[in-house]
Amino acid sequence: MFPGFGTLVNVVLIIAGGLVGLVAGKLIQERMRETLITVTGIAVLLMAAGGVVAKMLIATPEGFDTSGTLMMIVSLAVGALVGELLHIDAGIVRFGEWLKKKTGNASDNSFVGAFVTASCTVCIGAMAVVGSVEDGISGDSATLVAKGVLDCIIICMMASANGKGAIFSAIPVAIFQGGVTLLAFFFGTLLPAPALHNLSLVGSVLIFAVGVNLAFKQKIRVANLLPALVVATVWGCF
């Protein structure tokens, strides 16, 4: 397939899952919607924890050891500082507000929250980064297609619980994954394996933060942690 095919399939599956979720959301009670949000958060937490453990644990003759701890802490700290200074979260919220008006959903009070949460969930993960790189370098879209199936289910639950704002997460997915695929197509072979490893690890940590927001009603500004991905990548290049 052509480079970018995986992202195209991913976007289509997000929209399809969101539309199914909207129909289902009209058939369930508010109490059930709250339960769906919590369950979605738990699922995201477990998925992210698996990604972190897979990248940090190392089997040794003496047992298990961990790696990447210092990189993770520095990346998150520096990334959070940069993100807060740049107010990335506020920028994404403003974009969500603009989308809400342009799509005729000005009266939907849950639109922006659903859009921001869903976008952070489906954009940041390890599969998004690694899959986009594979798609750009070799045209292998298998990882992104698998991610698309998972996103379809997640966005279906989010849309049924929080409304149509979740569907518009397809836009940042198209921009982010498409951009990474394009960069990988031209420069992917120059990116060392440790950089991709760090990206996956820190990306899984950010996804964990999204799960905390969903399951425990916290307000971690996950978007403001996005620069941590850049710090982790640079760290892996040296």
Task: Give me the residue spans of the domains in the chain.
Answer: 5-236
pLDDT at 169: 95
Residue labelled with tokens 């990206």: 199
Closest CA to 176 of 228, 220, 132, 233: 132
Taking all residues of the chain, what is their mean pLDDT, rounded to a whole number? 88
Residue 48 pLDDT class (50, 70, 90 cuts): confident
What the block records as the tokens of 23 is 């129909």
- What's the pTM value of the predicted model, to 2 decimals? 0.80
For residue 68, report the phi and psi dihedrals to the nearest 5 degrees: 80, 5
More confident residue, 75 or 117: 75
Neighbours of 98 (CB within 10 A): 11
d(CA 128, CA 114): 20
Radius of gyration from C-alpha coordinates of the chain: 18
pLDDT tens-digit readout, 97-109: 999 999 898 888 8
pLDDT tens-digit readout, 216-226: 888 889 889 98
